[in-house]
Chain A
Amino acid sequence: DTGVSQDPRHKITKRGQNVTFRCDPISEHNRLYWYRQTLGQGPEFLTYFQNEAQLEKSRLLSDRFSAERPKGSFSTLEIQRTEQGDSAMYLCASSLAQDRLRGYTFGSGTRLTVV
C-alpha cells in the first residue's frame, strides 16, 4: 500500500491554459474525493466518486472544472481556461465507502499556480 498518490506535485500555468491533475487512490478504496485548499484556508469539498460514478459535486465546481474516474481506479481533475483564482492546492483523498466516517486518507496534493 503506497497511499494516495497525486501527480504532478506542482504545476505552474499561464492564465487561460488547461491543466489536468491525476490521483491514484489506495487500490482497494472505492471512494475518491477531491478538495481544494487556498492559502490560509481549510480544504473545501469539490466532488466525490464511488467507483466510477460521480455522486456529488460542490457549487465550487464551475463549468470549467471536470473530474472523471473512468474505471473506478485513478481519477483526473481538469481545469479549463485557468484563472488566477484557481491557484490553490488540490487534494485527493480516498476511503472505503463503509469506512467513510472513520476519516479519509489524503494525498500530498497538487499545488497549482496560475500566472
Chain B
Amino acid sequence: AQSVTQLGSHVSVSEGALVLLRCNYSSSVPPYLFWYVQYPNQGLQLLLKYTTGATLVKGINGFEAEFKKSETSFHLTKPSAHMSDAAEYFCAVTNTGNQFYFGTGTSLTVIP
C-alpha cells in the first residue's frame, strides 16, 4: 500500500522568505515521488520528480526537493518565495506509474 501525508494544510510565508512544504510517504517498495502545483481552477502542473539516482532534485520555478529514505520524506523547498508561488501544492507517490496517490495538499500563501 502507498500513501502520502502532507503536514500543514496551510503555510504562509513572507515574500523573499524560505518556503518549506513537508511530505512523508509510505511505500512497501521503492517509491517514485512527485510534487505538483495547482493554481485556482486549473489542473496540476508537474514541479519536480524523484525516480532514481540523485536524491536532491531540482524542478521548475526554483523549487527543489530531497528524497530521504531513512526519514521517508520528500520535502519541497524554495530559497526565496515569490508572490506568484501562491498556489496549492500536492505531493504524490507511485511505484508503477499506473496510479498516483496524492496527499491532501498544502495551500501556500505569500505575504507581501
Contacts and interface: CB of A to CB of B under 8 A. Distances in A.
A25 interface: no
Contacts of A104: 46, 100
Interface string B31-68: 01010100001111110010100000000000000000
Contacts, number: 63
Which of the listed residues A40, A43, A91, A102 has the most CB atoms from chain B within 10 Å of its own CB?
A43
B42 A109 contact: yes
Interface in B67-112: 90, 92, 94, 96-105
A101 B32 contact: yes
B93 to A, nearest CB: 11
Q: How large is the interface on B (under 10, 10 to 19, 20 to 34, 35 or more residues)?
A: 20 to 34
B44 A91 contact: yes
A21 interface: no
Interface string A16-38: 00000000000000000001000
Interface of B: 4, 9, 32, 34, 36, 41-46, 49, 51, 90, 92, 94, 96-105
In the A-B complex, the 5 residue pairs with the smallest Cβ-Cβ separation, listed nearest first, are A42-B102, A100-B97, A106-B43, A101-B97, A106-B44
